[in-house]
Amino acid sequence: MRAVGTSSAFSDLLASRDLLLSLAWRDIRVRYKQSLLGIAWAVLLPLSLMLVFTFVFTRAIDATAVLNLDMPYALYAYTGLVPWTFFSVSLSGAVNSLVANRNLVTKVYFPREVFPLSCVASSFVDFCIAMSVLAGLMLWFGLAGEWEFTPRLTLLFLPVVVAVQIALTIGLGMLLATANLFYRDVRQIFGVAIQLWMFISAVVVPVPRDGSLLARVISINPLVPIIGAYRDCVVYGRLPEPMPFLYASAVAVLVLISGWACLRRASFRFAECV
Please give the average per-residue pLDDT across 133-138, as a whole number.
84
85 is a domain residue: yes
140 half-sphere exposure, CB direction, 13 A CA radius: 8
How much is the pLDDT for 63?
59
Who has greater pLDDT, 237 or 13?
237
Q: Mapping DSSP to helix (H, G, I), strand (E, B) and coil, where does residue 38 land?
A: helix
Domain that holds residue 244: 6-273
63-93: string of b/e by CB count within 10 Å (b at 16+)? eeeeeeeebbbbbbbbbbbbbbbbbbbbbbb
How much is the pLDDT for 138?
82
133 is a domain residue: yes
pLDDT at 87 over 60: yes
220 is a domain residue: yes
d(CA 9, CA 11): 5
* Contact status, residue 12 vs residue 110, Cβ threshold 8 Å: yes
pTM: 0.86
Number of domains in the chain: 1
262 is a domain residue: yes
Instruction: Specify the amino acid at residue 25.
Output: W
210 is a domain residue: yes
d(CA 65, CA 98): 46
Query: Which pLDDT tens digit goes with each residue over 164-213?
Result: 999 999 999 999 998 898 888 888 899 899 988 988 898 888 877 777 77
123 is a domain residue: yes
1 is a domain residue: no
* Contact status, residue 230 vs residue 155, Cβ threshold 8 Å: no
